[in-house]
Amino acid sequence: MKQINEYQNKKVLVLGLAKSGFSAAKLLHDLGALVTVNDGKPFEENPEAQDLLALGVKVVTGSHPIELLDEDFALMVKNPGIPYSQPLVKKAVEKGLPIITEVELAYQIAECPLIGITGTNGKTTTTTMIGEILNAGMKKGKALLAGNIGYPASTVAQDAKKDDVMVTELSSFQLMGIKTFHPEIAVITNIFSAHLDYHGSQAEYEKAKWHIQENMTATDYLVLNWDQKVIQDLAKTTKAQLVPFSSTQIVPGAYQKEGKLYFHDEFIMAADTLGVPGNHNVENALAAIAVAKLRNISNEDIKETLQSFSGVPHRTQFVGTINERRFFNDSKATNILATEMALSGFDHEKLILLAGGLDRGNSFDDLIPSLIGLKAIIVFGETKDKLAQAARDAHIPTIEFSENAETAVAKAYALSEPGDTILLSPANASWDQYKNFEIRGDRFIAAVNDLKK
């Protein structure tokens, strides 16, 4: 990593721990900063805070006292999930204290180039696709996944070598805290309405996403979903070279034409040979193809990687085949839009959907058009009655109730025939029955594996 002196003997407040805050605090301490960590979790339940205290870092836990800002801090490094409306953050803004997120630190110390990926949907899948393609075709160095995908960027950056490349998933929350962050290639998969409780408005959310290209120049490349007018409008204000991708039209970049994927005029592969189904995954693959071609990866390495790509855990993840029935885990689909996208990738006449979860008070009327034609649906959780009504409105012939996602597996198998697909895509958060969507997906997978016994 680069050795920088910027933080030597500077007082820095790290607000919020978890993985990224712990990584940032330890890195700043190693760089000679005078670090104070503030985290809401009590000290006795906070192993990260305990470890940092043992290193000599000042630790304040259990609350967020405003008086902390009476110290003469030069910088705040904020956990991305903490909103700017939080009283301590709000006070820091009023005082003019610079606020960054941990990905900014990662950029400052990284010896290797960075590729940044953001968007409302598809970030993790696209990031993973890019990483796997680059690792299949790079002659020197490795592609290192980092950021919102689960690996703190400031940790990855410390170990990255000059010939490596950091493939970094970035949330809008992280992007609000960058100052000099500068990817050589950036990707925006799409922009829909999301996180308005955090950002306050759609315009502010779009502004946060657009920060990804803030420091890019005419020698950098910006890979954009050209099927969205909102992104076309934003593209008018960048200095970077535009590389569009589209699943619906021919563009000077990556595109789909008559079921085939191209980069400029080069045929790459047939869309129906992708390892994961759905037009949303065609879009993800096109973005990944664009990045791979910009990094001089061969068409053969691109094709082989995307054909064998089985998805990201809990995101339309192929689980396996039992007696000619295919099983897919899309537990990450915690809202209607995500389930709509998953359903678009399958033949409805041979599809059995498993759905349900936490009741947030919404109806499922918007989901009805995507349910039409399904062979069957099995519903569970707090929203089972609402989903059953939506299924009736969609004229699904078979509607069954189950206790939870795992008990729904055997019911779905009993209803299925050879050639059918069984898809868990809940359209709801998991918290009524599971601690998180990962546990829900793992229980589904375990139930599928039990069928094999």
203: exposed, middle or buried (C-beta count within 10 Å: 0-12, 13-18, 19+)?
exposed
411, 441 Cβ separation under 8 angstroms: no
Of the candidates 330, 341, 328, the one whose C-alpha atom is nearest the C-alpha of residue 426 is 330
Q: How many CB atoms lie within 10 A of CB 57?
A: 19
Of the candidates 331, 394, 342, the one whose C-alpha atom is nearest the C-alpha of residue 364 is 394
Tokens encoding 283: 């879009």
Strand partners, 326: 321, 421
120 annotated binding-site participant = yes
147 annotated binding-site participant = no
What element of type H or E holds 422?
strand 421-424
Q: How many CB atoms lie within 10 A of CB 415?
A: 16
Q: How far is 327 from 393, CA to CA, in rounded Å?
A: 26
Q: CA 46, 50, 51, 56 torsion: positive or negative?
A: positive
Entry field: residues in the chain = 453
What element of type H or E holds 379?
strand 376-380
Tokens encoding 293: 């071609």
How many angstroms separate the first and last alpha carbons of the chain?
Answer: 49
Q: How far is 98 from 176, CA to CA, in rounded Å?
A: 12
Of the candidates 315, 262, 310, 302, the one whose C-alpha atom is nearest the C-alpha of residue 135 is 302
Strand partners, 144: 166
119 annotated binding-site participant = yes
Of the candidates 211, 205, 151, the one whose C-alpha atom is nearest the C-alpha of residue 178 is 211
Q: How far is 118 from 140, CA to CA, in rounded Å?
A: 26
Of the candidates 318, 327, 346, 314, the one whose C-alpha atom is nearest the C-alpha of residue 448 is 327
Tokens encoding 289: 């193809």
122 annotated binding-site participant = yes
The string of DSSP letters for 234-298 reads: HGGG--SEEEEEESSS--SSEEEETTEEEETTEEEEEGGGSSS-SHHHHHHHHHHHHHHHHTT--
CA–chain centroid gap for 110, Å, is 22
Q: Which residues are annotated as a binding site?
A: 119-125
Q: Which residues are annotated as a binding site for ATP?
A: 119-125
